[in-house]
Structure 1
Amino acid sequence: MDLFVREGLRAAALAAAASALLAAGCAVPVTRVTRVVDEPPMMAQAPAWDRLGTVTRIEEVETSAQPTGGGGVLGALVGGAVGNQFGRGGGRAAMTILGVFGGAVAGDTIERNQAAAASSRYWRVFVRFDDGEHREFDYRDLAGLRSGERVRLRGDGVLQRG
């Protein structure tokens, strides 16, 4: 097999392995933060109707993933290894340095994008039904719902103002 073909195959295999390592190293931890945003004083109980209740509390829930820096480090290692496969002498050193820099930037960008995609915000609505049952419902939009409001649980599992 020709030397140039063998070197090309070796470089391609190294690049494929490096890409797999880079993707695996960009996993980000997820942190969940919950804040109580509205909690009324205890109110007198309304007439008991089937599946009618009162919103007792609303919490804002945030999930966020923070980049660890591992993507940039892993990207630099992979980029340096791939860059070292090209050129000769001083050109090889230049390609290695370029690979380290490019890999670090790419790895950091991938990790930050994954962290942003893993973050979200929603509201958890706590309801005490007239029959004494307590349930929680998660919503992306409160649509003006407030603590202390009377709500009705529809058959499809959605709360509506009572």
Structure 2
Amino acid sequence: MKTSMIAVALLATLAGCAVQPNSANVYKARQAQNEQSVRMGTVESVRQVTIDKGQSGTGVLAGAALGGVAGSAVGGGKGAIAASILGAVAGGIAGQSIEANSANKPGFEITVRLDNGDLRAIVQDADEQFRPGERVRLLSDGRTTRVTH
């Protein structure tokens, strides 16, 4: 029983740590076969940023559950209760830290001067390099804009 609870808590922790990509190279299924407008421009500047995916609270909950189960296995009677409480608190703190660290990703703020003179800034994952002066495409579907070569 305890092994099952630990496995469930571990899976919940891993699910909570999953992040959605903000890459110009990744499309969601609903974005396939949708028309996008294409605008051409020149990169004015590129700035490194951190993309904060936010925290769902899953790390705290899963860590507390895992810590509580692990703590309850220590000792017996009132000692097991105290160890369970301490384990839950420590697990919650550790789970929050793990989720916070996995939720931040490096990104780029790419400022592009469009051919019509307008200036646009787009933030996306730092998985493709851009340099000032490069010609790029901005792909927009009304919600999402991507910078690509």
| TM-score (normalizing by structure 2) | 0.52
> Following the alignment from structure 1 to structure 2, what is the Cα–Cα distance between the partners of residues 152 and 21?
44
| Change in 2 beyond 3 A, CA 1:57/1:91 | same
> Following the alignment from structure 1 to structure 2, what is the Cα–Cα distance between the partners of residues 26 and 152?
36
State the partner residue of 1:90.
78
- TM-superposed CA distance for 1:104, in Å, is 0.6
The runs of at least 4 consecutive aligned structure 1 residues that moved more than 6 Å come to 56-61
2:42–2:135 contact (8 Å) kept in structure 1: no
- TM-superposed CA distance for 1:76, in Å, is 1.2
> Following the alignment from structure 1 to structure 2, what is the Cα–Cα distance between the partners of residues 123 and 23?
31
Aligned equivalent of 2:131, options 142, 152, 160: 142
State the partner residue of 2:66.
78
**Larger RCO, structure (CA 8 Å, separation 6 or more):** 2
- TM-superposed CA distance for 1:75, in Å, is 1.5
Aligned equivalent of 2:97, options 89, 109, 119: 109
- TM-superposed CA distance for 1:119, in Å, is 4.4
Question: Deviations 1:91-125 (Å, cap 9, x if unpaired)?
Answer: 10122012102211221111111111x34123153
Question: Deviations 1:44-75 (Å, cap 9, x if unpaired)?
Answer: xxxxxxxxx97497687964312243311332
SS class of match (1:83): helix
> Following the alignment from structure 1 to structure 2, what is the Cα–Cα distance between the partners of residues 65 and 91?
39
Letter in 2 for 1:12: T
Higher-Rg structure is: 1
> Following the alignment from structure 1 to structure 2, what is the Cα–Cα distance between the partners of residues 26 and 86?
28
> Following the alignment from structure 2 to structure 1, what is the Cα–Cα distance between the partners of residues 110 and 44?
10
CA RMSD of aligned residues (A): 4.0
Aligned equivalent of 1:13, options 4, 14, 24: 4
1:28–1:68 contact (8 Å) kept in structure 2: no
- TM-superposed CA distance for 1:82, in Å, is 3.1
Gaps of 5+ in 1: 1-9, 32-52, 130-135, 146-150
Percentage of pairs with the same residue: 27
SS class of match (2:115): strand
| Change in 2 beyond 3 A, CA 1:58/1:11 | same
1:122 aligns with 2:109: yes
State the partner residue of 1:26.
17
1:57–1:127 contact (8 Å) kept in structure 2: no
